């Protein structure tokens, strides 16, 4: 029996989840087999069941991983801006051509929301948890507005941003796609990020 160093199984599992998070955002959950995920992770298909009960468990974990990866990038962009410009920087980065053109590194909401709605309760619960974490982060970025509920405002902004990126990816007219993003950036910045 081959002995592996301490932590090998945990690192291998993280490697699989990270590869799955990217693959699912790029190709969709149904568009990627377990064998393809394992290949992207540099592993053989046979090792999958040493780490996961089934594909749904992998999808559930990949949702959390995808959120952590994309949120870290977007928050880093926001943190580099002056405090009063952080929300505008976040909106600009989210509704950008770079985000639209790299779904594998982007937010899981525009990439997987419609597909996840048809998955198992385990997957939907994990996705919901990821959305709630993103919502909590966005609430912290929103300025106080008298008489307005910050959570409701964050829900509207998150839904609008995810929808804008989803629509911009779906159309086959590059000029229209760019216009969707620009119009969304302008409208959301004016509505949410102007003091």
Give the per-residue pLDDT at 145: 83
User: Is the residue at 40 inside a domain?
Assistant: no
CATH code of the domain containing 131: 1.10.357.10
User: Is the residue at 84 inside a domain?
Assistant: yes
User: Is the residue at 103 inside a domain?
Assistant: yes
Give the per-residue pLDDT at 195: 57
User: Is the residue at 100 inside a domain?
Assistant: yes
User: Is the residue at 80 inside a domain?
Assistant: yes
User: Is the residue at 37 inside a domain?
Assistant: no
Mean pLDDT by 10 residues, the chain (195 residues): 68 93 94 94 86 92 88 88 93 97 93 90 91 90 86 96 97 98 97 82
User: Is the residue at 154 inside a domain?
Assistant: yes
**What length does the chain have?**
195
Give the per-residue pLDDT at 151: 95
Q: What domain range includes position 86?
A: 60-193
pTM above 0.75, yes or no: yes
Give the per-residue pLDDT at 22: 94
User: Is the residue at 149 inside a domain?
Assistant: yes
Q: Is 64 left (phi over 0), alpha (psi -120 to 50) or beta?
A: alpha
Give the per-residue pLDDT at 93: 96
Number of domains within the chain: 1
The two three-digit tokens of residue 91, written as one number: 């909106």
Give the per-residue pLDDT at 75: 85
């Amino acid at each position: 029996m081959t002995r592996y160093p301490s932590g090998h199984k945990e690192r291998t599992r993280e490697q699989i989840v990270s590869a799955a998070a990217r693959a699912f955002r790029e190709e969709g959950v149904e568009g990627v087999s377990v064998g393809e995920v394992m290949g992207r992770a540099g592993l053989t298909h046979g090792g999958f069941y040493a780490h996961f009960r089934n594909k749904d468990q992998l999808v559930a974990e990949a949702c959390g991983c995808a959120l952590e990866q994309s949120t870290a990038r977007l928050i880093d962009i926001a943190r580099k801006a002056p405090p009063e410009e952080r929300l505008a920087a976040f909106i600009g980065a989210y509704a950008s051509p770079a985000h639209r053109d790299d779904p594998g590194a982007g937010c899981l909401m525009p990439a997987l929301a419609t597909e996840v709605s048809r998955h198992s309760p385990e997957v939907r619960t994990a996705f919901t948890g990821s959305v709630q974490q993103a919502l909590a982060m966005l609430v912290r970025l929103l300025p106080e507005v008298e008489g307005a509920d910050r959570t409701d405002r964050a829900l509207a902004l998150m839904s609008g941003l995810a929808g804008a990126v989803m629509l911009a990816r779906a159309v086959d007219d590059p000029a229209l796609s760019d216009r969707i993003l620009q119009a969304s950036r302008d409208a959301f910045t004016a509505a949410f990020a102007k003091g």
